[in-house]
Amino acid sequence: MSGHSEGLLPPGFEDLLEFVPHWVGSTAQERWDIRARSSMDDIRRFYTVMLARSEAILAHVGQFPLDALPEPVLRLFRLQLALAQAAMAVELHRQPRAINSPFPHSVRIVRTAEPTA
C-alpha cells in the first residue's frame, strides 16, 4: 500500500486497505448499489476476507460509541456492513444480483435506523 492510504483504517486492519476504494458506502442504499455493480469474483474475495475478520472488526468498533466513531473506525465499520450485501450475492443468489431482477431499477432504500448513516 502506498503512503497516502495510511491512516484510512485503524492500526491492525491494514490487510483490508485494498477494499476501501470500492467497498465503503455511507448508506445501505450505497452499499446495495456497490454490490449490485460488482463482479462475482470481487464479491467472493471481499466476502471471504471480511468474514474471517468480522469478529475482530466488531470487537474493535465496539470500543467506541456508535454515534461518534473516529473516521478510520467508521470506514472499517462500513466495510463490515458491506459484508451483509456481499452475503446476499454469495449465500442467496450465487450471482451479484437477484435472479430476474432488472438493473438499474427505481427501488430505493430511502432511510434506515443505522446510527452511523
Partner 1 sequence: MNEMTELAGICTSDLTRSAGLGTGPVSCEPYRSPEYFEREREQLFKRAWLTVGRIEQVPEKGSFFTKTIEIWNTPIVVVRTSDDKVQAFYNVCPHRGNQVVLEERGRASRFMCNYHNWVFRNDGRLFGIPDEANFFDVDKKACGLRPIATEVWEGWIFINHQAVPEVGLTEFLGEFGRRFSGISWENTETSLYFEAHLDANWKVLADAFSETYHIPSIHPATIGKTFASQVNPHSRPLDALFWGPHRQFSTFGNPEYAPPEDAMVEKMAYANRDTGNVLGAADTAGMSRYLDHPAINPKQSRYWALDIAVAFPTLHINLSPGGFWSHRFWPISVNRTRWEAEFHVPRPTTAHECLQQELYVARIAEILLEDVTNTERTQRGIEARAFDTMQLQDGEVQIRHNLHHVDRWVNAASVSEALNG
Q: What residue ranges bind partner 1 (CB under 8 A)? A: 28, 31-32, 47, 51, 54, 57-58, 61-62, 66, 77, 80-81, 83-88, 90-94, 98-102, 105-116
Q: How far is the CB of 37 from partner 1 (least distance, A)?
A: 14
Work out the burial of residue 4: count CB atoms within 10 Å of its CB; fewer than 13 is exposed, 13-18 middle, 19 or more buried. exposed
Q: How far is the CB of 29 from partner 1 (least distance, A)?
A: 9
Q: How far is the CB of 65 from partner 1 (least distance, A)?
A: 10
Q: Which is nearer to partner 1, 5 or 95 (CB)?
A: 95
Phi, psi of 63 (to 5 degrees): -80, -10
Q: Which is nearer to partner 1, 8 or 28 (CB)?
A: 28
Q: Which is nearer to partner 1, 5 or 54 (CB)?
A: 54
Candidates 45, 36, 44; CA nearest to 16 is 45
Neighbouring residues of 79: CB distance < 8 A, sequence distance ≥ 6: 9, 16, 19, 20, 23, 24, 50, 57
Q: How far is the CB of 41 from partner 1 (least distance, A)?
A: 18
